[in-house]
């Protein structure tokens, strides 16, 4: 199914966690890949620095696995500290030579729009790469790619909107502010939405005049490398966007600690986010963090049950449950609890799990064996805690990282499966009697990323939305993103926002100018 020019390779294999690292002396900078749907393309394997694909300086590589088949797709070059240094030099040079930060903002917008156009023309290949590398259903991958296109184009529209303001302090002085870019920004993205997180990070950074060094997730580097080939074609100068594939403990640490990097943006687990925050604090870097969640999804008795069930399904089984804002805690009003649980269980058992390239598949593979094992361990924890496994909880097939959609009932609020982020297709269901009771349970979490409310009573919806501690609240919908609507969390779910004008604020600083008038 997959092919690389293995005759050109000389290898020495070593183990790095679950991945195989090798010393390749002549790994090509691109390899041919045939996708399961019959499409063929050339996959870049190098690091993308200064608008060129280059081998890593130590010529180390790591393998990329197809989570649906557990087979190797290809190897890509593994960046290390010396590669980060090369990327920093390129990004710092691009920022300080004024080839990007001080040009007409509309030119930055045009370049970003052209990048979106290149992706749009190639979106089926790109969606297929996402499915291959991540394991997500092709229908989900297409949604991701369209969101990428929309967001890049929306961000292009902010190019000439970075306005300052005039400040009246009387006739003796003229005062104004201006918003300026930060400089070189380090960005670290996760494996669950590889290309979407790439877009959420680079778009607000470069439209405001910054330059970036982005670390892909080691499990899913392929799509970010593939679309990087369009960066110079879009008219974005060398050094503005640099992509370094590698591991968090090496590349991530190097980005966090480098003195010339002025900003760190990270999406991932709360534990890793705390570590990055502490490291960045030593250099007084600006930081944005989009972290974990354990989001409540609340169903009132007056809700349209069939629509609410579908929203719950989308909230927890979309993207195989590997969504930071997944609605993993369902709270259902007591009077409809039994009916709702029956409807939801039936719907979950009808979710198509399997080959991501099957057009009827809704839930593809988990992205890695490690993640599959973590999810299954939480199923065991739930059983031992005394929760009732209503459906699922088992691996599907003997090849690929697939698991059945899982529902736990009879849970208590202090159970680990209720408190801890599982990051998989597992949901708990709890009944409630009153609005005050459900708000208290919904807020009884260290997280605060998202929440769902399902009701036909607008008064109930607004009351709960006002009181729930979450950065995003969806009413009668779930996992419903729009490029103009900011996304981010409260509490342990992070700092700062993605998308909307709020994302632009994350990548600028304010300069005040006060002029004495004679």
Which tens digits make up the pLDDT trace of 405-415?
999 999 999 99
What confidence tier does 26 reach under pLDDT thresholds 50, 70, 90?
confident
- 340-361 pLDDT, tens digit per residue, is 999 999 999 999 999 999 999 9
In a domain, 515, yes or no: no
Q: Does residue 334 sit within a domain?
A: yes
- Cα–Cα dist 55/77, whole Å: 6
Of 290, 322, 337, the domain-final residue:
290
Give the chain's radius of gyration (CA, Å): 24
- 278 and 320 part of one domain: no
Q: Is residue 276 part of a domain?
A: yes
Task: For 282-294, give one letter per residue: b (16+ CB within 10 A) or e.
Answer: eeebbbbbbbbbb
Do 321 and 436 reside in the same domain of the chain? yes
The answer on 418 and 323 residing in a single domain is: yes
Residues 87 and 142 in one domain: yes
Instruction: Please tell me whether residues 246 and 273 are part of one structural domain.
Output: yes
Residues 200 and 259 in one domain: yes
**Based on the domain organization, do 478 and 453 belong to the same domain?**
yes
| CATH number of the structural domain spanning residue 85 | 3.40.605.10
Residue 290 designated active-site: yes
Tally of CA atoms within 13 A in the half-sphere of 359 that contains its CB: 1
Q: Is the pLDDT of residue 483 over 80?
A: yes
- Which of the listed residues 268, 290, 312 is the one where a domain comes to its end? 290
3-class secondary structure per residue, 322-349 = CCCCCCCEEEEEHHHHHHHHHHHHHHHH
Shared domain for 323 and 214, answered yes or no, is: no
Q: Which of 78, 130, 218, 290 is catalytic?
A: 290
Q: Do the domain assignments include residue 502?
A: no
Which tens digit of pLDDT belongs to each residue from 126-179?
999 999 999 999 999 999 999 999 999 999 999 988 889 999 999 999 999 999
Q: Would 26 be classed as within a structural domain?
A: yes
CA distance 455 to 304: 7
Q: Do 201 and 336 lie in a common domain? A: no
Residues 349 and 283 in one domain: no
Domain boundary among 269, 290, 311: 290
- 513 CB neighbour count, 10 Å cutoff: 11
Average per-residue pLDDT in the chain?
Answer: 94
Report the predicted TM-score, pTM, of the whole model to 2 decimal places: 0.93
| CATH code, 467 | 3.40.309.10
Domain limits for position 232: 6-290
> What is residue 20's predicted lDDT score, i.e. its pLDDT?
52
Please name the residue that has the structure tokens 């719907």: 347
Q: Does one domain contain both 266 and 304?
A: no
Kindly state whether residue 503 falls inside one of the protein's structural domains: no
Q: Is residue 510 part of a domain?
A: no
The reply to whether 476 and 339 lie within a common domain is yes
Is 256 contained in some domain? yes
What is the number of domains present in the chain? Answer: 2
Q: 3-class DSSP state for residue 94?
A: helix
User: If pLDDT is split at 50, 70 and 90, which confidence band does 23 have?
Assistant: low
């Amino acid at each position: 199914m997959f092919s690389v020019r293995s005759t050109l390779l000389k290898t020495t294999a070593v183990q790095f966690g679950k991945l195989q690292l090798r010393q390749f002396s002549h790994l090509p900078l691109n390899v041919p890949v045939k996708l399961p749907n019959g499409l063929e393309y050339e996959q870049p394997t190098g690091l993308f620095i200064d608008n060129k694909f280059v081998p890593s300086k130590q010529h180390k590589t790591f393998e990329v696995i197809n989570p649906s088949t557990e087979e190797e797709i290809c190897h890509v070059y593994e960046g290390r500290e010396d590669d980060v240094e090369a990327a920093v030099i390129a990004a710092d040079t691009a920022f300080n030579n004024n080839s990007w930060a001080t040009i007409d903002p509309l030119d930055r917008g045009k370049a970003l729009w052209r990048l979106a156009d290149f992706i749009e023309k190639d979106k089926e290949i790109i969606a297929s790469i996402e499915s291959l590398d991540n394991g997500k259903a092709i229908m989900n991958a297409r949604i991701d790619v369209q969101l990428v296109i929309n967001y890049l184009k929306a961000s292009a529209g902010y190019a000439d909107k970075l306005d300052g303001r005039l400040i009246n302090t009387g006739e003796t002085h003229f005062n104004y502010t201006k918003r300026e870019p930060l400089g070189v920004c380090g960005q670290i993205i996760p494996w669950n939405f590889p290309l979407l997180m790439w877009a959420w990070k680079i778009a607000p950074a470069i439209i405001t005049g910054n330059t970036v060094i982005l670390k892909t997730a080691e499990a899913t580097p392929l799509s970010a490398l593939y679309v990087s080939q369009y960066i110079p074609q879009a008219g974005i100068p060398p050094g503005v966007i640099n992509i370094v594939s590698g591991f968090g403990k090496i590349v991530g640490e190097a980005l966090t600690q480098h003195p010339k990097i002025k900003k760190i943006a990270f999406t991932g687990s709360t534990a890793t986010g705390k570590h990055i925050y502490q490291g960045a604090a030593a250099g007084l870097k600006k930081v944005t963090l989009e972290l974990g969640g354990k989001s409540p999804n609340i169903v009132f008795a007056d809700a349209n049950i069939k629509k609410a069930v579908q929203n719950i399904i989308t909230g927890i089984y979309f993207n195989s449950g590997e969504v930071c804002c997944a609605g993993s805690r369902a709270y259902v009003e007591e009077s409809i609890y039994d009916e709702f649980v029956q409807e939801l269980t039936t719907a979950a058992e009808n979710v198509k799990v399997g080959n991501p390239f099957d057009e009827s598949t809704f839930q593809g593979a988990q992205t890695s064996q490690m993640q599959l094992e973590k999810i299954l361990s939480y199923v065991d924890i739930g059983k031992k805690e005394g929760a009732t496994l209503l459906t699922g909880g088992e691996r599907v097939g003997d090849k690929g990282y697939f698991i059945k959609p899982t529902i736990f009932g009879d849970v208590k609020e202090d159970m680990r499966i209720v408190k801890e982020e599982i990051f998989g297709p597992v949901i708990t269901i709890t009944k409630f009697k009153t609005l005050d009771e459900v708000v208290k349970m919904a807020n009884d979490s260290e997280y605060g990323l998202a929440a769902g409310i399902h009701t036909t009573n607008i008064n109930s919806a607004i009351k709960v939305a006002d009181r729930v501690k979450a950065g995003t609240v969806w009413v009668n919908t779930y996992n419903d993103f729009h490029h103009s609507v900011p996304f981010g969390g409260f509490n342990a779910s992070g700092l700062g926002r993605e998308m909307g004008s709020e994302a632009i604020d994350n990548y600028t600083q304010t300069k005040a100018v006060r002029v004495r008038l004679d």
